[in-house]
Amino acid sequence: MDIAANIKKFREEISEDVILVAISKTKPNEDLQEAYNAGQRIFGENRIQEMTDKSETLPKDIEWHMVGHVQTNKVKDMAPYVSLVHSADRPKLFREINKEAKKNDRTINVLLQVKIAEEDSKYGMPYKKAEEFLKNEKAKDYPNVKLVGLMGMATFTDDKEQVTKEFKTLKELYERFKEANNLTVLSTGMSGDYKLGLAQGSNMIRIGSAIFGKRD
Ligand X SMILES: *Cc1c(COP(=O)(O)O)cnc(C)c1O
In the complex, the residues that contact ligand X under the rule CB under 6 A are 23, 25, 46, 67-68, 153, 190-192, 206-210
80 vs 192, beta carbon nearer ligand X:
192
**Smallest separation (angstroms) from ligand X to the CB of 195:** 12
Residue nearest to ligand X (CB): 208
**Smallest separation (angstroms) from ligand X to the CB of 211:** 8
**Smallest separation (angstroms) from ligand X to the CB of 213:** 9
60 vs 214, beta carbon nearer ligand X:
214
* Dist CA 115 CA 153 (whole Å): 7
* Dist CA 140 CA 99 (whole Å): 14
**Smallest separation (angstroms) from ligand X to the CB of 179:** 27
In the chain, DSSP assigns E strands to 19-23, 42-45, 63-66, 84-88, 108-115, 125-126, 145-153, 185-187, 204-207
32 vs 190, beta carbon nearer ligand X:
190
7 vs 153, beta carbon nearer ligand X:
153
Are residues 21 and 205 in contact, defined by beta-carbon separation less than 8 angstroms? yes
Count of H-run helices and E-run strands, the chain: 9, 9
